[in-house]
Amino acid sequence: MYDYYEAVKENVLKYIEEEVDTDGIDFEELETQLYDDLFTEDSVTGNASGSYTSSRAQAREYIEENKDLIREMCSEFGCEEQVKGWWFSDDYESIDVSIRCYVLGSAIGSALEELREAAE
């Protein structure tokens, strides 16, 4: 089963490794900055282009395995009608991107916790 939380966390860690100078970093400040920057980062959420996978079939596979997460996201974001529309028009990539945006805050928190533990 595809784990969105783990996948997005790994993308966040890779982004930090490649793009962020962590010397003397304030983790709370970094958390806010990362959320702002990564919400539209294609390598993490796909939100800028509208597709993380660049593959309707791959996105469909990911979301098919995560229907409970889709329901949770719809409840939290209030986007059930929008997601139904995407589903019926086979726009699986939009659903995939929405899930990635939904788990982003949690993934950033997990990634930063992992970095804090490694720094200690």
DSSP string, 23-43: TT--HHHHHHHHHHHHTT-TT
Residue 32: give the domain boundaries. Answer: 4-119
User: Buried b / exposed e across 39-48, counting CB within 10 Å, b at 16+?
Assistant: eebeebbbbe
Total domains in the chain come to 1
Per-residue pLDDT of the chain (120 residues; tens, 9 = 90+): 999 999 999 999 999 999 998 887 788 899 999 999 999 999 999 999 999 999 999 999 999 999 999 999 999 999 999 999 999 999 999 999 999 999 999 999 999 999 988 877
- pTM reported for the whole predicted model: 0.94
